[in-house]
Amino acid sequence: MSIFEQRESEIRAYCRVYPVVFDTAVNARQTDEQGKEYIDFFAGAGVLNFGHNNERMKQAVIDYLQRNGVTHSLDMHTSAKRRFMERFHQVILEPRNMPHKMQFMGPTGTNAVEAALKLARRVTGRHEVVAFQHGFHGMTLGALACTANQYFRGAAGVPLTHVSHTAFGAQGKAAEQALQVLERLEDSYQDGSSGVRPPAAFMVEVVQAEGGVNIADKAWLQRLASLAKSVGALLIVDDIQAGMGRTGSFFSFDDYGIDPDIVCLAKGLGGMGTPIAMNLIKPELDKHWSPGEHTGTFRGQCLSFVAGCEALSYFEDSHLMEEVQQKGAMMHAALAPLADLAGVEVRGKGMLYGVDVGLGELAKTIVGRCFEAGLLVSACGSGGRVIKLIPPLTTPEADLRSGLEILVEVTQNVLREAV
């Protein structure tokens, strides 16, 4: 461990939560250098939806490398990129009647958000963007301005401007209040003397994963989409962590009846952990770009295109999504004893769940003890009070059951000790 302590920046974080050296990984398990196995309910914060070293993706990448396929291409045409785009069109966009263009930029989610913000401002001629409380959109300055977390925002070193934050309409009691906020916003936009001008865009997550696994209320989200359209603002859905099948369908908004202008994707899009980000943009908006106006050295990630094609094959039929829904029901049932405890709230959709224990210190203790017991989970939400479960969608039922048993037992013990 000495090289990490001597030479790696103090900025490192997850390695402090999991203080071992990991060596190998298969599907939903990682093994450290001492041979101890861990069930992985963290999965790269949603990158590894299809598990570690997915055999189909690994073989596809090996075959591509062995035939000397192009690995880096900026935005030049390659056979790997063509195949990915054709498959994405056929498997995802065409069945949904989505006409959206595909824009590739830098390889991370924050790059996708930056490009979306830039285009929204270009299209509308407006500067302001409305984002939502508890939202997370990335660490570069534009995306960070949309992020609500003060800890992350505090590292910027400059004012984070041209973004305001309003109430997120999470399912439950918060939805009605958030609907009222939207109504007041609409009144302000329509009142020429209010001093409040319509924004360039509304930037929203359907499931706020980092924000504490807060799930948007359907009526609220539809009302937001209607408001955006009525005032000429773009609706941008950040589906970076909750997309790619995580909630039981490819997009987290598939069952919400909305029509986003821009959809930001990354994380699981590359299939096996190789980086890629992509925005889906309505054609009439995309025409506002000029060639080379937004670039990125690693936007031509051919290994990600190759692995991503294999990821798309999981959506050619309904088998995986039915499995995700079944496993999600398993998670819900297994976590029910925690939901019955005073001060604990369990919320989730598909295979993305959060256990809100009320205090960050309690969550931190639970995460640490789960690690000792061989389970990787992380904390999120306000003050780190929510334990987030985001296992690979391909997690075997036995591993899923074992991991849930560890989490429930540890959480019950920690909460009992805290009384």
Is there a contact between 327 and 351 (Cβ–Cβ < 8 Å)? yes
d(CA 414, CA 398): 24
b/e burial code for range 26-53 (CB count within 10 A of at least 16 → b): ebbbbbeeeeeebbbbbbebbbbbbbbe
Q: What letter does residue 172 receive in the DSSP assignment?
A: T
pLDDT in tens, 280-335: 999 999 999 999 999 999 998 999 999 999 999 999 999 999 999 999 999 999 99
| pLDDT, position 419 | 82
The two three-digit tokens of residue 107, written as one number:
């390889």
d(CA 23, CA 30): 8
Q: Residue 7: helix, strand or coil by DSSP?
A: helix
Is there a contact between 251 and 242 (Cβ–Cβ < 8 Å)? no
**290 class by beta-carbon count within 10 Å (0-12 exposed, 13-18 middle, 19+ buried):** exposed
* 207 CB-near residues (< 8 Å, 6+ apart): 213, 214, 215, 216, 241, 242, 246, 247, 252, 349, 352
Q: Residue 202: helix, strand or coil by DSSP?
A: strand
Report how far apart the first and last C-alpha atoms of the chain are (Å, whole number).
Answer: 36
Tell me the domains of the chain and their CATH numbers. Answer: 2-53+318-418 (3.90.1150.10), 58-313 (3.40.640.10)
Name the amino acid, one letter, at 31: T
d(CA 182, CA 173): 15
d(CA 352, CA 214): 10
d(CA 203, CA 384): 23
Q: Residue 166: helix, strand or coil by DSSP?
A: strand
Predicted confidence pLDDT, tens digits, the chain (419 residues): 799 999 999 999 999 999 999 999 999 999 999 999 999 999 999 999 999 999 999 999 999 999 999 999 999 999 999 999 999 999 999 999 999 999 999 999 999 999 999 999 999 999 999 999 999 999 999 999 999 999 999 999 999 999 999 999 999 989 999 999 999 999 999 998 999 999 999 999 999 999 999 999 999 999 999 999 999 999 999 999 999 999 999 999 999 999 999 999 999 999 999 999 999 999 999 999 999 999 999 998 999 999 999 999 999 999 999 999 999 999 999 999 999 999 999 999 999 999 999 999 999 999 999 999 999 999 999 999 999 999 999 999 999 999 999 999 999 999 999 98
| pLDDT, position 136 | 98
| pLDDT, position 281 | 98
pLDDT in tens, 12-36: 999 999 999 999 999 999 999 999 9
Which of 200, 205, 285 is closest to 234 using CA atoms?
A: 200
The predicted model scores a pTM of: 0.97
Residue whose entry in the numeric block shows the structure tokens 């029509």? 259
347 bridge partner residues: 354
| pLDDT, position 173 | 87
* 411 CB-near residues (< 8 Å, 6+ apart): 338, 344, 355, 357, 366, 387
Instruction: DSSP for 81-136, please give it.
Output: HHHHHHHHIIIIIGGGT---EEEE-SSSHHHHHHHHHHHHHHHH----EEEETT--
| pLDDT, position 288 | 98
Q: What letter does residue 381 receive in the DSSP assignment?
A: S
Q: What is the arrangement of strands in the sheet containing 201-204, beginning at the earlier edge strand?
A: 101-104, 278-281, 262-265, 234-238, 201-204, 129-132, 163-166
Q: What letter does residue 254 receive in the DSSP assignment?
A: T
Residue whose entry in the numeric block shows the structure tokens 């939560």? 17
Is there a contact between 81 and 345 (Cβ–Cβ < 8 Å)? no
